Structure 1
Amino acid sequence: MSERTTGGLTEKGRATRQRIVEATALRILDAGVDGTSLDDVRAATLTSKSQLFHYFPGGKAELVRAVAQWEGEQLLAAQEPHLSDLSTWESWEAWRQGLEAYYLGLGRWACPIGSLTAQMAATDAETAAFLRTAWTTWRTRLAAGVRRMQATGSIDPAADPDRLATSVLAAIQGGLLLSQPERASWPLEAALDTAWATLHTPATAGTPTRS
């Protein structure tokens, strides 16, 4: 019996393609997009040039876009089930601890989609579109959590959920950037402490609202 084919690839082919994407993601996290060549990917995955272009006919650009899409999916999945809850302060704290553990587990204080955005958003519109989807989905889920908290009176109803969610994302990315040279978590923790204080602050005392 021949191997089942879906979407133009066999199961084995999809597994090989995914292995290439994951190996490239690790290389990019270490060396950046410019520091990652197709020869590096071939050496890391033990694939031939023809095999690499079979899965990624568009070459490096297509491969980087696949990495951007996968990294976004991985980041969101790593935050579950807490990201889909965020209905109590306990669930927000559990989400925060899980997110910090995720970044620590990467072996360095860097956000894969944050790093890709800094490197690619201004130069590759197609890659930027994949990254924008990840950022928008993340912000939307955080904003949904803010709305749940507003419904129970835990967060001021006058606050703008989307702006609060964006401030949390900004704290995460800024905290990670400052954590990188320190090789420690405390800058990220300090940034999130400030974001937490903002979530608890009434709108009349400065909670972000949309004019």
Structure 2
Amino acid sequence: MNENSDESPAIRLTARGMKTRTRIVAAAADLMRVQGIGGTTLDDVIVASGVSKSQFYRHFEDKGALVRAVVTHVGEWVIARETNMLGTVSTLAGLRRWRDSLVKANALRHGMYGCALGSLAAEVSDYDTVARSVLDELFGAWRRLIDEALGRMKRAGVLDESVDTARLAVGFLASLQGGYLLAQTARDIEPMAIAIDVALAHLESLATAGRAAS
């Protein structure tokens, strides 16, 4: 089988088979979020998903195939969330609400699990080129959502015309990911809040006169 073989069985799955596959991936994603990829065994996933070994191997050739499916599953969830939160943002106030939502959500776990995508990237990037490529695309989609929000702000006159929104979007995403990591290490949400606030303060310094409160 090729590197993308974990996806081919899904094409021929019945509705019941797809439901089983989805249950396996969801269980694996939950376990890997808490225990890490290295700390999660296939037996753990089989028990947590309530399937037999034969059912598991009908859907996934090995752990690598499962991890790639988890990356896609988590990525789709993250991008859907970010699209919902950032898709109509066109003001600094809207961007602050996005910041508050992320910080509040991570505070429920005292920041202990970090970013769902960032945690996966830290574990798979060095040995799974397929998963790394998918993660790169997902982070690219996230960065574009930020860029598009900043672009709307620029067109609305909130930001100065000279602002490079693509460059700012990279900085925002880097600040967010760094904040997630610091919060995870400290088991304290404050470093994440500070990291995003510093990025927001820089953005506010680029606002056109009289629009910083927008």
Report the TM-score, using the length of structure 2 for normalisation: 0.85
Whether contact under 8 Å (1:78, 1:99) holds in the other structure is: no
Q: Does 1:74 align with 2:77?
A: yes
In the other structure, the counterpart of 1:91 is 94
Question: Of residues 143, 146, 153 in structure 2, which corresponds to 1:142?
Answer: 146
Structure 1 residue 67 displacement after superposition: 0.5
Q: Does 1:45 align with 2:22?
A: no
Structure 1 residue 100 displacement after superposition: 2.3
Structure 1 residue 79 displacement after superposition: 2.7
Question: Of residues 151, 156, 167 in structure 2, which corresponds to 1:163?
Answer: 167
Q: Which moved more, 1:16-25 or 1:106-115?
A: 106-115
Per-residue CA deviations over 1:145-188 (Å, capped at 9, x if unaligned) read: 11111112212222221111111111111111111132221111
Matches within 5 A, 1:119-138: 119-138=123-142
Question: Of residues 48, 52, 61 in structure 1, which corresponds to 2:64?
Answer: 61
One-letter amino acid of the counterpart of residue 70, structure 2: V
Per-residue CA deviations over 1:3-48 (Å, capped at 9, x if unaligned) read: xxx8311222212111111111111111211111111111111211
Whether contact under 8 Å (2:178, 2:192) holds in the other structure is: yes
Question: Of residues 185, 189, 192 in structure 2, which corresponds to 1:188?
Answer: 192
Unpaired segments of 5 or more residues in structure 1? 1-5, 204-211
Percent identity, aligned pairs only? 36
Question: Of residues 175, 180, 191 in structure 2, which corresponds to 1:176?
Answer: 180
SS of corresponding position for 2:46: helix
SS of corresponding position for 1:157: coil
Per-residue CA deviations over 1:75-112 (Å, capped at 9, x if unaligned) read: 12223432111211222122222222333456734111
Separation in structure 2 between the aligned mates of residue 63 and residue 27 of structure 1, nearest angstrom: 12
In the other structure, the counterpart of 1:35 is 39
| Alignment RMSD | 1.8
Unpaired segments of 5 or more residues in structure 2? 1-9, 208-214
Whether contact under 8 Å (1:79, 1:98) holds in the other structure is: no
Separation in structure 1 between the aligned mates of residue 28 and residue 198 of structure 2, nearest angstrom: 34
The aligned length equals 197
Which of the pair has the greater relative contact order for Cα pairs under 8 Å at 6+ separation?
A: 2
Separation in structure 2 between the aligned mates of residue 97 and residue 124 of structure 1, nearest angstrom: 34
Whether contact under 8 Å (2:106, 2:189) holds in the other structure is: no
Whether contact under 8 Å (1:120, 1:127) holds in the other structure is: yes
In the other structure, the counterpart of 1:3 is none
